[in-house]
Structures are given as structure tokens and as C-alpha cells.
Amino acid sequence: MAQVYGKPFAKVYNQLWGTFAQKVAKPIMKFYQQQEISKTNKNVLDICCGTGQLALEFLKENYYVLGVDLSPYMLFYALKNNKEFIKKGLAEFRAANASDFSLETKFGLAISSYDAINHLEGTPLIKNCFQCVYNSVVRKGYFVFDLNTRLGLERWNSININESKKFLLIIKGVFDRENNRAITRASGFIKEEDSNLYSPFEEVVYNYAYDMSEIRKLLKSTGWRNIYFAGINNLNIKIKNPEEEERVFIIAQK
């Protein structure tokens, strides 16, 4: 089942969590610029693009970016955050399911960040996603995405409170061993536009745990090759034991 995030959550996400995209965009871009395919293809596909902050970092460096996301509310902010590049014809954002899409443009690089792939429930959806991305990438192109490992998700048992003049956010995380998933409940109050009133909201987010060996097999079964795991500090250095990390980046080539 695909997760579609609501309007209040998208607003909070846009304000709070864009820094992750900014952090990972540069090393991913650096990695791609080292590849031969980058010389002939500057098209980037951003799967589960969210509010478009990662896309913005690539757009600033003269890439063309197409972002897809299932949530119209996340796309609202993606369009807003990248409007100057959209006007120039350098960016486009579409509503699409990560496990069921088809695109005309062919990309040298496909990215999915901030554990978006963890949100897909079950290996059939994961495999479908990998196939859709494979069909959208040119020969010798790359797919770079990150995942929370089982170890990382098991450590989500926590409560965090974030407060500002615009919102009060309470995040409760727990790992559900029976269903092999982490559950995050984000709730609180958010300030209405042009008003001093605050509205309550609640969003439940699921992150499913997958064995990294299983992810590798699913990539291979959909045609990907040269698959390996890495850390964000250097995507060229392979991690031998990805299950010992809390988050890993997966690199695959068509």
C-alpha cells in the first residue's frame, strides 16, 4: 500500500526536513559527475521527490529534474520551491506512484532519498519500483537510493518534541517486530496561514524493514548490475556489512 501524506504533514515536512536533501545532494552529484554517462546526460529523476529540496540542489547546478510523488500536498511545495526553474523548463513535477509509473524522458541518474523506498510495503512493490526506474534510465545510467536497515529501524523507539511559533510537533517512534516495520506517529498543532489560529493534525508513517541481501536480489532480478552499498560520505567506497549500518546508500547501474 502506498502512503500519501496529508496537507499539514507536508507543510511541516517542508519546513523541517529539507536539510537532509541538501546534505545528500552534493555527494550524490559528485558521484555522478565522476561517471562517464554524466557527460552526455544531465537528466535527473527524483522518485518520491517530496517537497522538492533535493531537486532544487541539482537544478542550481544546471541539471534538468523530473520529480514524481504520490502526495499532491508534497507536490504543492515542490512546485513552489522550484517555480523559477519550472518557468525555465528545467524542472517538472508529476503525481505518480513509485511502484507504477512510466516516463517518456530517459535519465542518466535516478535518485530516491530519505528512506522513501522503506515506505513501500512488500517486495512486490519494491520490485515494481525497481523495474519502473530501470525502464526510465538510459543504458549505463545510475540509480542511487538510501534505505534504513533493520538495525536503524529497530532504534526508532523514541519520543521527540519540536516547537516553534508556527507549529508544535510530537513524534513518537516504535518498532513493530510482529509486522517488521517502524511506526512513526507525528501529531501536534500547526498555525493557519494569515491567522493566529492553530489546527490539530496527525500523520502515521510506516517504514518497512528489508534485508539488504533481498534488496540486492530484487535489483538484479529487474536488470540492475554493479550493485553495492555505501555510506553518504563517499559513494565510491563499498560497505562490506550493510546490516551493521543504520542507513545505507545503494548504487546500481543499468
Model confidence over 13-31: pLDDT tens digits? 898 888 898 899 999 999 9
Question: In this predicted structure, what is the pLDDT of residue 6?
Answer: 81
What backbone torsions phi and psi does residue 68 show, to the nearest 5 degrees?
A: -125, 140
The Cα–Cα gap between 69 and 95 comes to: 5
Question: In this predicted structure, what is the pLDDT of residue 116?
Answer: 95
The Cα–Cα gap between 147 and 79 comes to: 26
pLDDT in tens, 51-100: 999 999 999 999 999 999 999 999 999 999 999 999 999 999 999 999 99
Question: In this predicted structure, what is the pLDDT of residue 85?
Answer: 98
Helix residue ranges, H only, 5-161: 7-16, 18-33, 53-59, 72-81, 83-87, 123-136, 150-154
Higher pLDDT, 164 or 254: 254
Question: In this predicted structure, what is the pLDDT of residue 2?
Answer: 56
Please give the mean pLDDT across all residues of the chain.
Answer: 94
Entry pTM: 0.94
pLDDT in tens, 90-131: 999 999 999 999 999 999 999 999 999 999 999 999 999 999
- Chain centre distance of CA 11: 17
Q: Please say if the pLDDT value at position 1 is more than 60.
A: no
Question: In this predicted structure, what is the pLDDT of residue 157?
Answer: 86
Mean pLDDT of 142-171: 92
In this structure, the number of other CB atoms found within 10 A of the CB of residue 248 comes to: 23
Q: Please say if the pLDDT value at position 193 is more than 80.
A: no
Residues of the chain above pLDDT 90, percent: 80
Grid coordinates of 208? 518497512
Alpha-carbon separation of residue 123 from 44, 142, 174, 227 (angstroms)? 25, 21, 22, 18
